[in-house]
Structure 1
Amino acid sequence: MRNSSIRPAASAILLASALNLAAAAPPTSATLDRGRYLMNGVVACANCHMARGPRGEYLPDKGLSGGLLFQDKMFTAYAPNVTQDRETGVGKWTDAQLARAIREGVRPDGSLIGPPMPVEFYRHMSDEDVNAIVAVLRTERAVSNAVPKSTYNFPLPPSWGPPVTSVKAPSRADKVKYGEYLATIGHCMECHTQRDPKGMLVTASLGSGGRVFPGPWGESISRNLTPHESGLKSWTDAQISNAVRGGVDRYGTPYKPPMAYQHYKNIDDSDMAALTAYLRSLPPRPFGE
């Protein structure tokens, strides 16, 4: 007669083994495709994290090994190395730690990631999308590049908010809501909204532009994305699309970095239409106010 007392323990071992196998399962091709679309499109990870040359040009052979300098009166920050290098990159981080760093701005050692990492926006990224990005980051070739530590002229908050539990993207059927989701994870308002002396977004100026961005390209000023006379009120949908995906204003004048048009050109027509619908739904605000 078998001893039934061992069955719960045996079942627990089998369940644990099954869970481990599931956790170790490679991502599907659909997951990787989604991650690449986001990273090379609306989220534009390489716009900050890809290594650059002295004139701001991309250095693709060095991948997402970071080092880009962001400097203004509030901080001197460097984009970190997010390749799979175990010493200078994120090769030792678990998938959960990578997802937490993206959506909560917390490193595995518990320290907070500061601006310009747009954690306030990434907090709203869906579980599916953050997992897709993490899956693609795992495919990044390890590149050794020790990046300087960022410094801030204001105290970082204790956290960027409570722990993110589970997030689901809105339905694509609601074009404005889905466009808002894309604009959020694409952190459009990171550059197109004023910040207060503590580095926090001034929500009353959401989308009104006017921020100055110095860099190897000289100086660029973010434009007004709201449907105001000083913004997009008189722009056609095609002109908005050409500005975002083509990197030129409605008169054909090229935009300067950090506008990530090299990546936004990969945004598909459906998502571009949703983004445009959302921008048109914003309250009209004067430029820079």
Structure 2
Amino acid sequence: MRRDVGEAVRNTLLAGLTLLAGCAGTVKAPYPPIRADTSPAALERGAAIFHASCESCHRGGDAETASGAPLRELPSYMGSFHAANLTAHPKAGIGSLTDEELARAIRYAVSRDGRLMVMPSYGMGDSDLAAVLGFMRSGHPLFTPEAQPAPRSEFSFFGGLGFRVITGNEPIERPVSGIPVPAKAATLEYGRYMAHDVYDCASCHTDGFSPRKTEGDDVYSGGMAFIDPAGDKVRSSNITFHETGLAHWTLEDFTRAVRDGLAPDGSALRSPMPRFRGMDDVEARALYDFLRSVPAKDNEVKGARPRLTATSVRPTWVATGAATETAPEAGADVDPETASTVAEAAALSHQEPSGAVGTQAATGGTASTSASPAETSGAVGTSSTSAPTVRAAPQRKPRPAEPKVDAPKLFVQLGCASCHAPGARYHDRLARASSRSDAELVRWVRNPEQFLPGTPMPTYADLIDERTARALVRWVKAGGPASLPPTR
């Protein structure tokens, strides 16, 4: 009897190991005959898609290149997973891979050695896929060769069994080539294409791991579990236009959220939601209208926010940028970019930047200020002995006082504390701030994507003006975040 029980257990384990081995075995998937497109338009398109859909997984938080990173977003019970090294290194990266091999990995989620990978497979059209390949071959700094290979992904015993059952260990069925890209326009067709095949909103915002889950009734209703950088479980939001989802979100709310990473209440979107920096207004409109066309689903996802009502009011601490820009004091040390911004803002408001009005002698040219008839009456046709016209010195407007900013409160409200408070993932990075100028840090706070296009940091330019950002920066440089309570 005992022998029979032992035999049964052994056979069961062998069967499970066989299934697990099958999960790790090779699969059949075709090689799309797609070649990299390196034309200027394709490189721009490929960069936008890569930064939005690929970079967050393949570039670690402290890395300068897409050399791979741990996929901590996946539950640990499934195993240990690591995104591939996509740099141009011939051995550790993709330098020796053909375009067809890369196209197969993207379209079917099948690795070079023929194994099904735990990554989304993208049904993007041939020209978009060629654009992504072109960007990956472009020599961009993201792909600077990195000789350290990414660790191999490994399933746990039960994770492998579950993955095989769910996927059938078969890649998703798609045409090997000939997939069109819809005409770019604010249409439902184009919006659906972006949501399903380029940005992959459908997979992340639908619960489960089945590759066919986006064909079901629960698509876009949220609930899929991820692990955030702090190690906490978060679930994707319901992005249908139900009261438990995006009802009452305006197009402006939606665009700022997906492009800049900021929710309507001004808080940062939760990780691992990427920022679609390259999304233009046409794409935003198409995606917004498409999601509004999806049947609304009643699914209250715990922790998802914010919940808006028809009478929701945006917080009063949210400011608008250009309207409150001010010129620096004369003689102040201002970098050219900041000076340009000030001049543009002044021109838009029909004001002259402070310190820009000079005398003719000082500039060596003609004064740009128009003279009155009385001032010019003796300027032409009079003798050289005429007394020169004396103009009153321009009255300089007093410089507006720096805004009163509750920096600790703003630091928390903007979501900075979740990444930079003591104990948070990027707290140590603030030490670098002391060596940088206020002007540089202000630009980084307001538009971090100009320094690092794929950064998960939100874009705050529409919410805080330069003076407010400067007050926040000075508080950070003075060590203010160290006074906040730890995040854990």
The TM-score normalised by the length of structure 1 is 0.79
Deviation of residue 242 (structure 1)?
Answer: 1.7
Aligned residue in 1 for 2:263: 249
Task: Return the alpha-carbon distance in structure 1 between the equivalents of residues 292 and 145 of structure 2.
Answer: 42
Task: Return the alpha-carbon distance in structure 1 between the equivalents of residues 259 and 46 of structure 2.
Answer: 19
The structure-2 alpha-carbon separation of the partners of 1:170 and 1:194, relative to structure 1 and needing over 3 Å to count, comes to same
Deviation of residue 256 (structure 1)?
Answer: 2.2
RMSD of equivalent CA atoms: 2.4
Which one of the candidate residues 260, 275, 285 is aligned to 2:287? Answer: 275
Which one of the candidate residues 45, 53, 59 is aligned to 2:54? Answer: 45
Q: Secondary structure at the match of 1:213?
A: strand
The structure-2 alpha-carbon separation of the partners of 1:85 and 1:92, relative to structure 1 and needing over 3 Å to count, comes to same
Q: Do 2:172 and 2:211's aligned partners in 1 also have CA atoms closer than 8 Å?
A: no
Equivalent AA in structure 1 for residue 285 of structure 2:
A
1:57-206 equivalent positions in 2, closer than 5 A: 59-60=63-64, 63-70=65-72, 71-72=74-75, 73-113=77-117, 115=118, 117-119=119-121, 122=122, 124-138=123-137, 139=139, 140-152=143-155, 153=159, 154=162, 155=164, 156=167, 157-162=169-174, 164-173=176-185, 175-184=187-196, 185-195=198-208, 201=213, 203-206=216-219
The structure-2 alpha-carbon separation of the partners of 1:25 and 1:250, relative to structure 1 and needing over 3 Å to count, comes to closer
The structure-2 alpha-carbon separation of the partners of 1:271 and 1:199, relative to structure 1 and needing over 3 Å to count, comes to closer
Task: Return the alpha-carbon distance in structure 2 between the equivalents of residues 204 and 90 of structure 1.
Answer: 38
Task: Return the alpha-carbon distance in structure 2 between the equivalents of residues 24 and 182 of structure 1.
Answer: 22
Unaligned runs of 5+ in 2: 1-33, 302-488
> Percent same amino acid among aligned pairs?
32
Q: Do 2:36 and 2:132's aligned partners in 1 also have CA atoms closer than 8 Å?
A: no
Q: Do 1:217 and 1:257's aligned partners in 2 also have CA atoms closer than 8 Å?
A: no
The structure-2 alpha-carbon separation of the partners of 1:285 and 1:74, relative to structure 1 and needing over 3 Å to count, comes to farther
Task: Return the alpha-carbon distance in structure 1 between the equivalents of residues 183 and 174 of structure 2.
Answer: 25
Deviation of residue 26 (structure 1)?
Answer: 7.3
The structure-2 alpha-carbon separation of the partners of 1:182 and 1:204, relative to structure 1 and needing over 3 Å to count, comes to same
Q: Do 2:36 and 2:133's aligned partners in 1 also have CA atoms closer than 8 Å?
A: no
| Structure with bigger gyration radius | 2
Equivalent AA in structure 2 for residue 129 of structure 1:
D
Equivalent AA in structure 1 for residue 60 of structure 2:
A
Query: Relative CO higher for 1 or 2, CA cutoff 8 Å, sep ≥ 6?
Result: 1
Task: Return the alpha-carbon distance in structure 1 between the equivalents of residues 280 and 236 of structure 2.
Answer: 23
Equivalent AA in structure 2 for residue 143 of structure 1:
E
Task: Return the alpha-carbon distance in structure 1 between the equivalents of residues 260 and 268 of structure 2.
Answer: 9
Task: Return the alpha-carbon distance in structure 2 between the equivalents of residues 248 and 162 of structure 1.
Answer: 35
Aligned residue in 1 for 2:45: 34
Deviation string 1:101-144 (CA, Å, 9 cap, x unpaired) is 1001222322222x2x111xx1x211101011111111222112
Task: Return the alpha-carbon distance in structure 2 between the equivalents of residues 30 and 175 of structure 1.
Answer: 22
Task: Return the alpha-carbon distance in structure 1 between the equivalents of residues 195 and 257 of structure 2.
Answer: 15
Deviation of residue 24 (structure 1)?
Answer: 9.5
Aligned residue in 1 for 2:414: none
Task: Return the alpha-carbon distance in structure 1 between the equivalents of residues 186 and 252 of structure 2.
Answer: 21
Deviation of residue 216 (structure 1)?
Answer: 2.0
Deviation string 1:206-257 (CA, Å, 9 cap, x unpaired) is 1111223213234333111001110112211111112212222222222221
Task: Return the alpha-carbon distance in structure 2 between the equivalents of residues 235 and 170 of structure 1.
Answer: 26
Q: Secondary structure at the match of 2:257?
A: helix
**Which shows bigger deviation, 228-237 or 199-208?**
199-208
The structure-2 alpha-carbon separation of the partners of 1:166 and 1:232, relative to structure 1 and needing over 3 Å to count, comes to same
Equivalent AA in structure 2 for residue 273 of structure 1:
R
The structure-2 alpha-carbon separation of the partners of 1:25 and 1:269, relative to structure 1 and needing over 3 Å to count, comes to closer
Task: Return the alpha-carbon distance in structure 2 between the equivalents of residues 211 and 87 of structure 1.
Answer: 35
Unaligned runs of 5+ in 1: 1-22, 54-58
Task: Return the alpha-carbon distance in structure 2 between the equivalents of residues 270 and 146 of structure 1.
Answer: 39
Q: Do 1:210 and 1:223's aligned partners in 2 also have CA atoms closer than 8 Å?
A: yes
The structure-2 alpha-carbon separation of the partners of 1:162 and 1:179, relative to structure 1 and needing over 3 Å to count, comes to closer
Deviation of residue 147 (structure 1)?
Answer: 1.6
Task: Return the alpha-carbon distance in structure 1 between the equivalents of residues 80 and 105 of structure 2.
Answer: 20
Task: Return the alpha-carbon distance in structure 2 between the equivalents of residues 209 and 75 of structure 1.
Answer: 23
Q: Do 2:225 and 2:235's aligned partners in 1 also have CA atoms closer than 8 Å?
A: yes
Aligned residue in 2 for 1:238: 252
Task: Return the alpha-carbon distance in structure 1 between the equivalents of residues 282 and 60 of structure 2.
Answer: 31
